[in-house]
Amino acid sequence: MDRLTAERRIAELREQIEYHNRLYYVEDRPEITDQEYDQLMRELQDLEDLYPDLITPDSPTQRVGGEPLPYFTKVEHKVPMLSLGNAFTEQDVRDFDRRVRQGVGGQPVRYVCELKIDGLAISLRYENGLFVQGATRGDGTTGEDITQNLKTIRSIPLRLRKPLTIEVRGEAFMPKQAFEKLNQERAAKGEPLFANPRNSAAGSLRQLDPKIAASRSLDTFIYGIGELEGETVSSHSEGLALLEQLGFKVNPERRVFDDIEELIRFIDSWAQKRPTLPYEIDGMVIKVDSYAQQQELGFTAKSPRWAVAYKFPAEEAITILEGIEVSVGRTGAVTPTALLKPVSLAGTTVKRASLHNEEIIREKGLLLGDHVVVKKAGDIIPEIVAVLPERRTGAERPFHMPTHCPECGSKLIRFEEEVALRCINPDCPALIREGIIHFVSRPAMNIEGLGEKVVAQLYEQGLIASVADLYYLHQRRDELLNLERMGEKSVDNLLQAIEASKQNSLERLIFGLGIRLVGAKAARVLAEEFGHLDALREATREQLMAIDEIGPKMADSILAYFALPQVAELIERLRAAGVNFSYKGVRVEAGDHLPLAGKTVVLTGTLSTMTRQEAEQKIAQLGGKTTGSVSKKTDLLIAGEKAGSKLEKAEKLGIEVIDEAAFLRLLGQ
């Protein structure tokens, strides 16, 4: 076959194959057999082998292949891929509707309600109709380039039906049947099983070898437009219709509503029907249809105000309590954990559940061997919600908490008015290890690269026995290089992070020391009040009690901590290493000009732009102090979403109330 004839035939074959790809993978109505499809692909492959210069990036033969990548490069999203706010109840949906209608000045509002696919969020970019880049959501601003892996998904078109430049958003997922098949194959090979389809989809798309991704039978649904050139749409529903016209696979189970009560009934119907779907969903997504109204409503720092994700209630499952193990935390508290017969729950395999303390075991009447009802709290933390005594056979047996520490063998004690048993041996390996993990954590000294596994490895190898030892690791660099997964760069980065933490403000150090009853907020109050660690160490009980936030128990705990000789030795070693002991934040005494100088502030409700801890820090920077309850001494209440009784009390007392937007203006944002 001459070149010109081959070029024409290649064009015909590509058009036919993409047509049949769409029928099979998008519309689910194939017209030819698999054998006939394979014959078309083989003919195309043979012609491209004969004339390799005719191969183009959008050829169906380019979906599978390519050499493994050395790593994924970063991709910056031109339009951020923000996450959605959550709704958990019908009332939450009604509250969302109320906020939307208020936000558009009472105009009529139309919503689009869609299934929330449980997969991996992706971004696809096309230039002049040609697929040029695919990326993960990442942190919403920056993702990873997984173009080669996404090309292996047959429902993603390599060339659009119109030569548009467009960036679209969607969800990559693994169908239930493909997930079950994959785990069967892994079990046969003795490989660990994937926990759920969502994890398997994410793991497949983050394989450096595209051939592995190609073997996983992934699929997609496209649900939105990020950027668009050369075409105009005025609503979300119009955008979805355009996506279908361009050749994307768009979920058909969507409806448009003018009435919020009808929308809620639609959600309820899918809560019942979700097990019948061939893929996993974990809720429904509600979006304002009009783009003009979306623009008017705008965004918070984290999510759009014109959309919300309704999360289905946590699933429950029945399994067997096979055992209970206990672990020791940094404060010495001994915590029991339920060991369960593995059971599938909310898309994951659950094997463990928290029991918190001995009293919970007693209250629930748990016996080893009991049938129990398990659910995921907020779809995250498994917990036992009930025991089924009617299923007992007589073989069940009671569980008894240990009398001695499972780590060091010391006798456990229970302080007055406390439920938890505690190990008070300061040399207990668990206390030391967990104390170091707390010290390096983000709210404390925030030392990057020191996760739980690295800390455990350093401790087990004898490189650290206290938090002070961290600041002398530079003297043992050669030993660090011998540790598992610790190369030159990793060690250098770790040592640099440790060195940088020396400059932290005092409140981080106080919190990191792990003084019993002293949380992050109390640590900041103490740092601001005393200014230097030495001044805090010398403080009397009266001086501590004079601070509003410090009660008698906390004061006694602080005094007892600094009276320990091993603590004095620890502090001197930290001082010798050059760790900062001074408070670097804003002092109210020196900042009377600050907008909240000397004011008592209460936070209530949920803030969308920052965590509660971050808000408290910013209030302190403005000269104010936060308390947990509203009283006549309260000067200001900052009310986020779902503000409750504190807001009502503040209004009754005539206390000034501002919302989150006003708080941000106060911060100069």
User: Which residue, 204, 223, 210, is CA-closest to 281?
Assistant: 223
Nearest to 284 by CA among 250, 303, 261, 307: 307
Show the beta-strand stretches assigned E in 13-129.
Answer: 74-76, 85-87, 111-117, 120-127
Strand (E) or helix (H) holding 171: strand 165-173
Q: In whole angstroms, what is the distance from residue 546 CA to residue 97 CA?
A: 48
Q: Round to whole Å and give the CA distance between 366 and 355.
A: 10
- Contact indicator for 537, 562 with CB cutoff of 8 Å: yes
Which H/E stretch holds residue 493? helix 488-501
In contact, 242 and 231? CB cutoff 8 Å: yes
443, 509 contact by CB (below 8 A): no
Cβ neighbours of residue 346 under 8 Å, at least 6 residues apart?
282, 314, 315, 376, 379
Report CA 342 to chain centroid distance, whole Å.
24
Strand-strand pairing, 219-229 and 165-173: antiparallel
Q: Which amino acid does the sequence have at 654?
A: G
Q: Catalytic amino acids? A: 116
d(CA 197, CA 181): 11
**Cα–Cα distance between 18 and 63 in angstroms, integer?**
11
Secondary element (H or E) of residue 659: strand 656-659
Q: Is the dihedral of CA 481, 487, 492, 498 positive or negative?
A: negative
Nearest Cα to Cα of residue 437 among 334, 495, 490, 429: 429
Question: Where are the strands (E) in 204-359, listed by range?
Answer: 219-229, 254-257, 281-288, 307-311, 316-328, 334-345, 348-354
The long-range contacts involving 452-458, CB below 8 angstroms and separated by at least 24 positions, are 454/494, 457/483, 457/484, 458/483
DSSP 8-state symbol, 665: H
> What is the secondary structure of 111-145 as a DSSP string?
EEEEEEE-SEEEEEEEETTEEEEEEE-TTSSEEEB
Task: Report d(CA 630, CA 645) in Å as an integer.
Answer: 10
Length of the chain in residues, anyone?
669
Helix/strand/coil for 240: helix
Rg over CA atoms, the chain: 30
Structure tokens at 323: 């055992």
108: its two tokens: 């009529």
Neighbours of 405 (CB within 10 A): 23
The single-letter DSSP state of residue 391 is G
